[in-house]
Structure 1
Amino acid sequence: MDKQIENKIEPWWNKPLWGDKSMLEKIESIIHKPHDIVPQEVIDHHQRVFGELKLLTPIGKALDSDKFSNLEFLEFVKISSLFANEIGEYKGLRNYVALFRVAVEAKNSFLKIEQIELSYRSSKQQQFYNFVFNLLEKQLSSEEFVISLEEKLAQILSEIQTEEGKNALNIYAETFKTVARQDDLGLKLIFLFKKYQLEDFSLLRVMSDMVQYLLDRDLGDFNDIVILVKANQKRFEQLGKIIELPLDKTRDEDYARMLQYIAMKQKHQVSYGQFQRLLEMMTQWTHFYLIIRDIRSHYSESEFTLPPEFKQSIPGLDIYLKYKTFLVK
């Protein structure tokens, strides 16, 4: 009798806890529970960030260019970074290559200054030339230099008799102002030429001609550039003295590195500017992309029922993957 009763008694875990479901049924319902739903506020945040990516991506596509895959261009990007960060063989050359670059880029202004100084030699004009040299020696800022120059020019023009002489000084002053406004290093370089009594700026023409010659050659061929430096060794020694290059940086290879960089910069500077704008834009893009990536990784498909928004392709991901190694970490 007791056994019959016992057989009719169900185990406690199989009895309804409340309602009509047993504990076992409840456990099974938890185990087999449908996936959780991603909160709506998370989906809304995802879409706001996603919208930023959609706005930035067309800009990235417009800035992207096949030129950025050119091996010589990529070499220039690498060399620019080595100079900027003074890494390895490029250590200690950054400031000097900047002076070298100005020497090439400001060549025409320097030659115009030289021509006027040689052609117009009245006492008042020479007085003005000496005044300018003293200004250069003070190493003023560009703004301070221009103000002092204009004040002295106004004073001395009233003391010059001929219109030709006045015009020459006006052109002279304007040329100096152009150099000053383009780059403070231009004023420093003119001072160094005069300091070492190397007023013959024709050296700059030679350097500029070398750069022009290299533009039509493979600038990635470093040995070719070293050979060019060796063939013009005395001129580079003269330039090294002018820009006050340390003796341990006056090897042919050092000059070749600087010459290679300057030629590459002249050849690729427009593309490089566009490349820099692309990287700046993609750095912003990356900020939003990482947010999207973190949201999606937190709400994985194995644990959540994902909304369609989470399955959208990331706009601009192809550009990001292409330039990922160049982006600011």
Structure 2
Amino acid sequence: MEDALEQWLEGRSRPMAPLHEAIHKTIEDRLFPQADVHFAVDHLSASLRQSALRRWLDDSLSHPDISPRKDIVLCLHAGNLPLVGFQDVLAVLLSGAGYAGKLSRKDPWLITSFFNVLRQLHPQIPVQISTDLAGYQGAAFSRWTFAGSPDNLQAVTDRMAAMGIIRQKASVLPRTAHFSVAYLAQWDDSCLPDLVEGILRYDGKGCRSVAIVYSNIPLEQVAEKLRDEADRWLQVNRELTNPGPLVRFRKAYNDAAGIPSVVLGTHLVQEGFAVPDHPEIVYWQPARDIHAPRLTFADALQEVYGENATPLMQAQRPPADWRPDGVNPLAWLLQAE
């Protein structure tokens, strides 16, 4: 694994190498902004060091009732971010299992480029890749992972069972949380770069993206600083920074209704409370109880960032062993059925 990762990541700057070609295709096909693709690869290069993988594996092996896997695990990958499902890839391979992946058509090249390297170095590892579930008809997988809307999970399960892709009582690891919050009770302007990154990176579409900010500082008091920091971020990371129709409409409504709000490029931050309903709208709330967001949003909430919580700087830079929906995927795979 370590050799394959090192060779794969080193290829990003080497013409004709699998990762270099995958990055080029992804950007050329306009699947994701260029800056986001390079950010995702940079983050993997920094986070997937030998010590990080070994620490994750050692921690997972310390759980009770674990055993190396010898079967093939199916991973259904989302396509909202570049390389969004790569932790599942690592977890499956570290568990000893073979990998079968249903890749999103929105991100077909990047993960595939890793397996091109892995196959050259370790052709004995079972690997199957497809962008079409029909390619796995009759496979009868006993374990699978899912990332997406909880509203779709049952329909996907029923469809795959009917096609014989999974067994009737197959174990599934679902990841359905879809937003995170920043809890900044003690405001400090030094948080601005990480806060803006947490809001704007990946256009707010990731489950780790900040959708609500809890702070006892009124939004109007920091709006200009937020806008200035966002302008600096946008100059480096985006070509088009004009707000869309929804943001323009919401801003006009807020102005008419006297609701404080500020436009950050393609996003709007506004005071008020609501369940996050669109990645371009971020809500600003008073900070009263750090436990309140988890109680309010339950399984829809991925992370709470701030003091005595996950560091805000990790919002878009999670460690290798982070736990989507609170579950260590490697430990889950290693647990005996």
- Where relative contact order (Cα < 8 A, 6+ residues apart) is larger, the structure is 1
Higher helix fraction (1 or 2): 1
TM range (shorter): under 0.3
Report which of the two structures shows the higher radius of gyration computed on alpha carbons.
1
Q: Give the TM-score normalised by structure 1.
A: 0.20
Higher strand fraction (1 or 2): 2
Q: Give the TM-score normalised by structure 2.
A: 0.19
